[in-house]
Structures are given as C-alpha cells and as structure tokens.
Chain A
Amino acid sequence: AQKITQTQPGMFVQEKEAVTLDCTYDTSDQSYGLFWYKQPSSGEMIFLIYQGSYDEQNATEGRYSLNFQKARKSANLVISASQLGDSAMYFCAMREVGNGANSKLTFGKGITLSVRP
C-alpha cells in the first residue's frame, strides 16, 4: 500500500531564506505522481507543484522546486526566498498511476512552516 511520511516537527525559517520540507514515500508501482499542497490557516488546499515518477528533471514552479530522489523515494519541497505568506501547513501527496482510473491522492500528515520576519 502506498504511504507518505512527513516526520519533521514544526519548521521555522527566517524571511528571505530557503527552506526544505521533507517527504518520503513508499510504493510498489513504477509509475506514480507526487504532489505538494499548501494549507494556510484559512483552510483551503492550494496546489503547488507536481513531479511524475518518469520525469528526469526536478519540477520547479516559481519559488518552489521539488528535489526528487527516486532511489531514495524522497520528494522534498524547497521554498526559496521565504515570505511571511509562506507560513502554512504543507502536505506531500502521491497518486499511483497503476490504479488506472482511480486517481485518489494519499496524503502525509503535513508539516507546519512558520516564517519569521
């Protein structure tokens, strides 16, 4: 069964610095997708970045990049130049493509990030 592990305690970063949020996953599928979502205190879930298991390059979206290490089964999110608005809960999620039409996401427990001014 697929599993996502996010074990970091609450993370703190100084404004304008970079921060890495860790995510490891477990799957027996060769084809899968990895996602990061942001949940601010207002509650909505905001899609940040996607990485496919066959993508050779690490995904980047603006200040977000995904450090994908397939052999280690890790998909860490890197946020560069942190801003106060980055303070939120961050979730790593996975979709196993082998399930075909079943596209459900399995989420980790999340990591709380606080950006200090």
Chain B
Amino acid sequence: DSGVTQTPKHLITATGQRVTLRCSPRSGDLSVYWYQQSLDQGLQFLIQYYNGEERAKGNILERFSAQQFPDLHSELNLSSLELGDSALYFCASSDAGTGTHIQYFGAGTRLSVL
C-alpha cells in the first residue's frame, strides 16, 4: 500500500458530463501530481500542486482543472467529457524534503466515457 488514496476506483459516465476524481496524499507529503495513462499517449503528466499552490502544468486540457485543499487532498475535475478522455488517472504524492522526490502512486481511477 503506497499510502496514496484515490476515489473512486472506477467511473463510467457519458460524453458531455463532468466528473471529479479525488486524491489523498501520503501523510506529510505536500506535493500532489496528476497523471493520465492511455493506450495511445502512455503516461502523461497533467499537473502538480505543492502545499495548495499550482507548481507545474503539463499536457492538461482546458476542460480539465485541479485544486489542492488546505488539508492537502486534491481533486481533478474533468468536464465536457469526450470518448478520448477514457483513461486511467493516477494521483501521486512526494516528500520534497527527502531530495529524491520519489513519487508514490495511488491505485488510480479508471474512467470510461461512453
């Protein structure tokens, strides 16, 4: 168990809908990262938050947004969903204080857009 909790594990929804993915980082980790894994694109970095502030953005669509709350949990919001958004979404957290920035991943949320 990595200590990173993601909910829900599975999500099935229709095109045009909006969903929220939730992530609780490991105790003490201030950084949260979101990644998308799809068959055609592989594992892609979406966005990083550190202690409530956005730190870096990757290939995140404008329809997607995220935030990190004061208790350090994070949410990834996906709106106007398209078939191509079907993927496995991972949250990871790391402890910047270690210097290695090892990222520990949650079990992922598998999103299916029908």
Contacts and interface: CB of A to CB of B under 8 A. Distances in A.
Interface of A: 33, 35, 37, 42-47, 50, 52, 91, 93, 95, 99, 101-107, 109-110
Contacts of A47: 2, 102-105
B73 to A, nearest CB: 19
CB-based closest 7 A-B pairs: A45-B105, A102-B56, A107-B43, A104-B45, A103-B101, A44-B107, A101-B55
A52 B108 contact: no
A45 B4 CA distance: 11
Contacts of A35: 102-103
Nearest to B101: A103
A107 to B, nearest CB: 4
A46 B105 CA distance: 7
B45 A44 contact: no
Most buried by A among B42, B48, B101, B107: B101
Chain B's interface size range is 20 to 34
Contacts of B102: 35, 47, 50
Contact of A105 (B45, B50, B106): B45
A52 B100 contact: yes
11 contacts: A43-B88, A44-B106, A44-B108, A47-B103, A50-B100, A101-B56, A103-B96, A105-B35, A105-B103, A107-B43, A109-B42
Interface in B64-108: 88, 90, 92, 94, 96, 100-108
Contact of B58 (A37, A50, A104): A104
Interface string B22-48: 000000000101010000001101001
Nearest to B106: A44
B108 to A, nearest CB: 5
B88 A103 contact: no
Given A107-B42, A110-B42, A45 B90 contact: yes
